[in-house]
Amino acid sequence: MSSSADDRETLDQLRVADARWRAIIDAAVDGIIVIDSAGSIEAFNASAERMFGYVEDEVLGKNVSLLMPEPYRSQHDGYLHHHIQTGERRIIGIGRAVTGRRRDGQSFPVHLSVGEFEIDGKKHFTGILHDLSRRTELEEQLREATALARLGEMAAVIAHEVKNPLAAVRGAVQVIGSRLPAKTSDAAIVTEILARIDGLNDLMQDLLVFARPPAPKPARLDLRSLLDSVIALLKRDPALGDLDVSVTGEAPYALADPNLMKIVLHNLLMNAAQAQQGKGSVRVALRHANRFDYIDIADSGPGIPAEIRAALFRPFKTTKARGTGLGMATAKRLIESQEGQIAVECPESGGTRITLTIPVAPAAT
């Protein structure tokens, strides 16, 4: 066989080997990344593309720290150099949970296993990455479900041991107050006691609704009429007399529980009003697309700081002096129990906009 024929056969074998190798790593569920001793990316499989949002051609030859958030990005080259110089291992052959960075800047949890090999005396490293986002999400949901179960048990105890006796106490205080001369200091004290009892009763009611929400009873619901009734109820509060609330747009009948939706809308509109100290404006817009109705509630308040927005739907998270921190958490639970969604954003122009997504009711027969 001639030398050129041998060369062609060798090249053919190399192409077959390369194609076989690519087919194997591209079929892998986990991300696989190969880097050289300088940290430059040499291979980036299909799962890594899906995981990080880059295509292979975009990252080949670039430093792997591109896929890391700070401070790991700045530390990586130093760690790699230290390992090559000393042989000390912190992750190679061990594997551990680390943090990755997607193309859009989002950080996410990853389990990383690293292997080391040499070609012509030069070190190379293979990283196998498993996205832990879904597992982390499920763990968080499990923790939340466990906490809610305990909260439900506590709420039942409160209802039985506190709520009913509190009603009796309120009635007794009210009778005593009715026997006192009007406009005296004692009468004022009784009025304050009643207000505090009512506040405690509201807290327990909020706790009960959040911990043990009633099962939804979906019906064809006219969102415009429901909004009008909730806004009328809101305007009865003297503290909100200077608030301007408007409703625009139209939407077909929604499939939702009227009572639960009333609780959701009242909570959200009250939050918008209180964010502006009962003044300013609240703009409510109805719209629909495909199989969903949308309710946009926008206020002209100061907006919500990012650190608070991140925990906005967490129970007992509040910025109000006397707030329970259950309003937004309850709204989320009640909306999601009806196959809906709730989203919050703070536009650069100011204020806060909350969007409710609710399924459209089937056409009446």
pLDDT digits (tens, 9 = 90+) for 298-320: 988 877 777 676 667 776 655 55
**Which residues are CB-contacts of 306 (< 8 A; sequence separation ≥ 6)?**
none
Range 223-227, long-range pairs (CB < 8 A, 24+ positions):
223/251, 223/253, 223/254, 223/261, 223/286, 223/293, 223/295, 223/358, 224/250, 224/251, 224/286, 226/258, 226/261, 226/262, 226/265, 227/265, 227/284, 227/286, 227/295
> Which of 110, 97, 123 lies closest to 42 in space, CA to CA?
123
For the record, the structure tokens of 71 come out as 């401070």
Q: What is the three-class DSSP state of 153?
A: helix
pLDDT tens per residue, range 120-146: 888 899 999 999 998 888 888 788 777
Over 60: is that where the pLDDT of 58 sits? yes
Pairing label, strands 281-289, 244-249: parallel
User: Measured between alpha carbons, how far is 180 from 186 in angstroms, rounded to an integer?
Assistant: 7
pLDDT tens per residue, range 146-167: 776 777 677 777 766 777 788 8
